[in-house]
Structure 1
């Protein structure tokens, strides 16, 4: 059976995923004042975008792919089609993907299409895409892939430490987070996501390095039972050395079966800002 996975552009595609032909990206649109860019490889330039965000007093914005973009992405020769979107609590991308599915099924009522709410973002979506690929390559049925992927999503945890939280705060993505002050003291919150995909504060530390260590402490605590069965994804915004340091620290403590490192695409760059680190396991 052939398959296709449509991942909105908050999820990064690895080089291997791009080469496989089984993955396509549904681009969001990014806006910094009058500057508007589509979040895809052809149009998005991370360095240029970070410069515009740094220079602009106003908050950057994103808009999700239209239902028609999703409908067109589903229209292929694959037997099984899946979509993976960033958390429904953070974006309208999930609802748009579902609307696109309904549009597609009007003309293709027998098609097998399923939309996953990642309850995460960024490299969390990447890992879900890789889980779908693993299950498909094992020859599981469409229904089994859906069931086991949904279970995998429930087992995922997301952590992140950012140099600044301005974009998340201005865009209202930190509604439940209270203790976000002390910029002058260099306090860095260690953030995570709930099972539903909302953002919470897990811990905090003075300085980026100490905050990253606290993040790894939390990863060790939550994932110590079966690390050899799991992959870890690390997304970094323009800080590969910091990502490598986090990877080494994680692998010192837990024997995960694999770790993938990706540079953030447009949407994740907008929220993570320069120097941000996101980990999903």
Structure 2
């Protein structure tokens, strides 16, 4: 039983590993996923398997929305009822979503709670890694202010790299960011996408064909790690489990000294903007 009453609030697009997100001091707010008039709550009443089945037949393509205010309120009410008085809210990049701003607005309705919102400037597991670090230091008994400072520090040195077979879904969802310059390029040009310092998508590398693109992505991980002494890695997928497993095996052989390692699938709300076939890699440097 934890002595301190510190909780972690996350949005569904942070893709926090289930073994962490299921802890009693976690609460998730779901993004909205829309197939026409059909509305779903991300990872609540639609999971990745069902999502990709529906995506294959969808016309027009699905859309997403930031969490509704009532869902943010419900999450904060739940934590308050469970006796938590301090909350670290870990949100995906404000450059890609209005979630962080929404949480800040609704937090003002809870003067009895001390709420700090961390805009990770990242997405998917790279954002989720901030929540993983929060859970570690909460369980080590750190003070709230120290935890906030540490989570922000680590968020600033966490990177995401992802490969998508087509830019079609990013374009349709309006999340193209600085990747827009690649639209209309040679058909087999495969970009590796990351988030810049402002949390906006940009092409960090590109290659001809999937094989070369994946090789570049692995090199980017190497370059990011440099002389890191303590780090965590994750490989996630969107309907591409075989390739995820292949890359995971490579990592386990190449980095036997890494700390934690996670696999998982991306949330349906992220799948809306990336489509099937995604491979994502999260790199979290602790020191």
Structure 2 length-normalised TM? 0.89
Deviation at 1:125, TM superposition (A): 2.4
Q: CA deviation at 1:267?
A: 1.2
Give the structure 1 partner of residue 280 of structure 2.
Answer: 278
Structure 2 Cα separation of the partners of residues 48 and 139 of structure 1 = 39
| Corresponding residue SS for 2:176 | coil
Corresponding position of 1:260: 262
Moved over 4 A (4+): none
Residue 182 of structure 1: how far off its partner (Å): 4.6
Unaligned runs of 5+ in 2: none
In structure 2, the partner of 1:11 is 14
SS of alignment partner, residue 103 of structure 1: coil
Residue 98 (structure 2) pairs with residue 92 (structure 1): yes
1:100–1:217: structure 2 CA closer, same or farther, 3 Å change rule?
same
- Checking the alignment, whether the CA contact within 8 Å between 1:167 and 1:271 is kept in structure 2 is yes
Are residues 97 and 53 of structure 1, via their aligned partners in 2, closer, same or farther at CA, if it must alter by over 3 Å? same
In the alignment, structure 1 residue 180 sits paired with structure 2 residue 183: yes
Q: Bigger shift: 55-64 or 132-141?
A: 55-64
Q: Distance in 1 between matches of 2:195 and 2:47?
A: 28
Following the alignment from structure 2 to structure 1, what is the Cα–Cα distance between the partners of residues 241 and 29? 25
Post-superposition Cα deviations, 1:145-176, rounded to whole Å, max 9, x if no partner, equal 11111111111111100122222112222232
Distance 1:222 1:28 in 2: 30
Partner of 2:115: 113
Q: Deviations over 1:154-202 (max 9, x none)?
A: 1111110012222211222223221234564x32111111122111101
- SS of 2:264's equivalent in the other structure is strand
Alpha-carbon distance in 2 for matches of 1:193, 1:80: 29
Residue among 19, 43, 52 paired with 1:40: 43
Partner SS, residue 82 of structure 1: strand
Pairing of 1:210-225 with structure 2 (within 5 A): 210-225=212-227
Give the Cα separation in 2 of the matches to 1:16 and 1:45: 17
Partners of 2:16 and 2:152 in 1: CA distance? 20
Distance 2:269 2:41 in 1: 10
Distance 1:54 1:265 in 2: 16
Stretch moving more, 16-25 or 198-207: 16-25
Deviation (angstroms), 1:258: 2.0
The aligned runs of 1:126-275 (5 Å cut-off) are 126-177=128-179, 178-182=181-185, 184=187, 186-226=188-228, 228-254=229-255, 255-275=257-277
Deviation of residue 39 (structure 1)?
Answer: 0.9
Give SS of 2:123's match. Answer: coil
Note if 1:101 corresponds to 2:104: no
Shift of 1:57: 4.0
Root-mean-square deviation (CA, aligned residues, Å) is 1.8
Which residue is equivalent to 1:27?
30
Answer yes or no: is the 8 Å Cα contact 1:84–1:117 preserved in 2.
Answer: yes
**Cα deviation digits, residues 112-148 of structure 1 (max 9, x gap):** 2111112111112221111001111222111111111
Alignment size in residue pairs: 274
Equivalent pair of 1:69/1:100 in contact (CA under 8 Å): no
